[in-house]
């Protein structure tokens, strides 16, 4: 199995990508620690992962709070003796689709500060034990906004480009200690909208554009080379591979999972 004997923590572990990754990491043999905001969503993700035979702990931890995340990481290493994989799958609704003249400074900064804060907080916490053990993989999640242009994307673009730069620089810093950093950049996933903040967010954009939600999603799919959007399972399977020793030479990379919407 890809992640046999690996200990993994997933922040945002009850979310759409977090839960999908938990299922796949569990199937691949990982011991899991799911941390997040809402206990019911964490419990649901944990039961699906346990059904794959994994040992799974859950904890309510605010992934914006350095002291709380540090304490949780200490509990993980006390319980499991090590920490091999850390995925930040935290997500939250924010403003997209408005022109700059209609966007408040607060709405612009909300995704920028929020996503950059949580990824700093969790990476700082997990890098401590990973540096000490001389190995580990930190996984971050960006969006196509890092490379897109056009109206309504400034906050998402600044957040995503910032996170990709953060991940690349951190890989350079932690590489000599044996710690890898991989950022994945999936396109919008149609099978996530029922559970993800993206359902509300894309819904507002479709409404403003005067088209139905399914038409708007179809427009996104139509802009890819494959003529479809990626799925949660595809993203989770790639995350498991990137976390595994089969990807041992991969670090500082931004993995393009956009189904061909963007070309490197």
Binding interface with ligand NAP (CB under 6 A): 12, 14-18, 36-38, 41, 62-64, 89-92, 141, 143, 186, 188-189, 192, 195-198
Q: How far is the CB of 141 from ligand NAP (least distance, A)?
A: 4
Residue (81 or 227) nearer to ligand NAP, CB = 227
CB closest to ligand NAP, residue no: 15
Q: Measured from the CB of residue 5, what is the shortest distance to ligand NAP in angstroms?
A: 26
Tell the burial category of 29 from Cβ atoms under 10 Å away from its Cβ (0-12, 13-18, 19+).
middle
User: Do residues 230 and 186 lie in contact, with contact meaning Cβ atoms separated by under 8 Å?
Assistant: yes
What is the smallest separation between the CB atom of 231 and ligand NAP, expressed in angstroms? 10
Q: How far is the CB of 242 from ligand NAP (least distance, A)?
A: 14
CB of 44 to ligand NAP, least distance (A): 10
Closer residue to ligand NAP, CB minimum distance, 14 or 162: 14
Q: Which is nearer to ligand NAP, 98 or 236 (CB)?
A: 236
Smallest distance, Å, CB 4 to ligand NAP? Answer: 26
- Tell me how far, at minimum, the Cβ of 15 lies from ligand NAP, in Å: 2
Closer to ligand NAP at the Cβ: 11 or 31?
Answer: 11
Show the beta-strand stretches assigned E in 3-157.
7-11, 31-36, 56-60, 85-88, 136-141
Tell me whether residue 178 or residue 260 sits nearer to ligand NAP (CB atom). 260
Which lies closer to ligand NAP via its Cβ, residue 44 or residue 211?
A: 44
Return d(Cα 69, Cα 264) in angstroms, integer: 34
> Quick one: three-class SS letters along the chain?
CCCCCCEEEEECCCCHHHHHHHHHHHHCCCEEEEEECCHHHHHHHHHHHHCCCCCEEEEECCCCCHHHHHHHHHHHHHHHCCCCEEEECCCCCCCCCCCHHHCCHHHHHHHHHHHHHHHHHHHHHHHHHHHHHCCEEEEEECCHHHCCCCCCCHHHHHHHHHHHHHHHHHHHHHHHHCEEEEEEEECCCHHHCCCCHHHHHHHHHHHHHCCCHHHHHHHHHHCCCCCCCCCHHHHHHHHHHHHCHHHCCCCCEEEEECCCCCCC
Residue among 77 and 143 whose Cβ is closer to ligand NAP = 143
């Amino acid at each position: 199995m890809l992640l046999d004997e690996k200990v993994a923590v997933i922040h945002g572990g009850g979310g759409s990508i977090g839960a999908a990754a938990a299922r796949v990491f569990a199937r691949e043999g990982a011991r899991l620690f799911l941390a997040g905001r809402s206990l019911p969503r964490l419990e649901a993700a944990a039961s699906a992962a346990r059904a794959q035979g994994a040992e799974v702990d859950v904890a309510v931890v605010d992934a914006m709070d350095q002291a709380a995340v540090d304490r949780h990481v200490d509990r993980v290493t006390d319980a499991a003796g090590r920490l091999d994989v850390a995925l930040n799958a935290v997500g939250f609704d924010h403003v997209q689709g408005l022109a700059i003249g209609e966007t408040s400074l607060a709405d612009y900064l909300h995704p920028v500060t929020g996503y950059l804060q949580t990824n700093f907080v969790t990476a700082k916490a997990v890098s401590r034990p990973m540096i000490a053990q001389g190995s580990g993989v930190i996984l971050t999640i960006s969006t196509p906004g890092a490379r897109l242009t056009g109206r309504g994307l400034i906050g998402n673009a600044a957040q995503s480009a910032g996170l990709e730069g953060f991940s690349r620089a951190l890989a350079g810093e932690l590489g000599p200690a044996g710690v890898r950093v991989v950022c994945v950049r999936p396109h919008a996933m149609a099978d996530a909208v029922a559970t993800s903040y993206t359902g509300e967010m894309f819904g507002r954009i479709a409404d403003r554009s005067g088209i139905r939600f399914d038409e708007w999603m179809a427009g996104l799919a139509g802009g890819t080379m494959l003529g479809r959007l990626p799925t949660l399972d595809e993203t989770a399977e790639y995350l498991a591979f990137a976390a595994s020793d089969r990807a041992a030479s991969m670090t500082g990379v931004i993995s393009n999972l956009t189904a061909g919407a963007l070309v490197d």
